[in-house]
């Protein structure tokens, strides 16, 4: 499991120490640092110490390491309520930095942290059991 870096990637730069960051916690394979433009106090980014654009590109070894780090950071914020957000691609709530990152976002009031306020932002549909079964079959065929 050797680390891959992209010289043009901001978060690879932070991983290598070339770009400064406020380090919260790290393991051999994961790094947590404060978001430079936080939406609440303690807003932290948790990244693998290897370049991958999306979750699907990331090796399972790095993924296995990062879960407990996300939990640790969530506890370190001291917040009782928080969101974990991870965007993959521009359409998916806009991924701006193309290096996998999990946002740990404390939610301490109605007005800070993650606010989902756009209309129709969770477009739930009524779907028949037959449609669900067809979707399930398609998904199973891809593994
Ligand atoms: P995304 O929109 O890709 O899910 O989130 C990218 C996050 O990276 C944003 O919340 C943004 O504030 C943060 N960010 C962008 N540039 C820097 C930087 O140079 N340092 C740190 N610590 N965070 C950054
Ligand atoms: Zn990178």
User: 58-116 pLDDT, tens per residue?
Assistant: 999 999 999 999 999 999 999 999 999 999 999 998 999 999 999 999 999 999 999 98
Has residue 143 been placed in a domain? no
pLDDT(12) > 80: yes
Q: What is the model's pLDDT at position 92?
A: 93
Domain span at residue 72 reads: 10-116
Per-residue pLDDT, averaged over 12-26, amounts to 97
The ligand with the least distance to the CA atom of 35 is 1
Give dist(CA 42, CA 104) in Å, integer.
8
Average pLDDT, the chain: 95
CATH number at residue 75: 3.30.428.10
pLDDT(117) > 80: no
Q: What is the model's pLDDT at position 124?
A: 87
pLDDT(119) > 90: no
Has residue 123 been placed in a domain? no
The ligand with the least distance to the CA atom of 13 is 2
Has residue 74 been placed in a domain? yes
The residues lining ligand 1, judged by C-beta closer than 6 Å to any ligand atom, are: 10, 21, 33-37, 45, 87, 94-97
Give residue 19's pLDDT band: very low, low, confident or very high (50, 70, 90). Answer: very high
C-alpha count within 13 angstroms, C-beta hemisphere, residue 39: 18
Looking at the structure of the chain, the number of domains it has is: 1
Has residue 122 been placed in a domain? no
Has residue 135 been placed in a domain? no
Distance 96 CA to ligand 1 centre (A): 7
Has residue 1 been placed in a domain? no
Has residue 142 been placed in a domain? no
Has residue 137 been placed in a domain? no
């Amino acid at each position: 499991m050797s680390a891959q870096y992209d010289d043009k990637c901001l978060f690879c730069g932070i991983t290598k120490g070339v770009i400064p960051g406020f380090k919260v916690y790290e393991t051999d394979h994961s790094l947590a640092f404060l978001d430079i433009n936080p939406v609440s106090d303690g807003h932290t980014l948790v990244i693998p110490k290897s370049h991958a654009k999306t979750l699907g590109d990331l090796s399972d070894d790095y993924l296995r390491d990062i879960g407990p780090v996300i939990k640790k950071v969530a506890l370190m914020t001291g917040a009782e309520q928080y969101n974990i957000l991870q965007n993959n691609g521009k359409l998916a709530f806009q991924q701006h930095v193309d290096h996998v990152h999990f946002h740990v976002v404390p939610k301490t009031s109605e007005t800070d942290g993650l606010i989902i306020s756009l209309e129709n932002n969770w477009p739930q549909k009524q779907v028949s059991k037959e449609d669900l079964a067809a979707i399930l079959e398609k998904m199973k065929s891809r593994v």
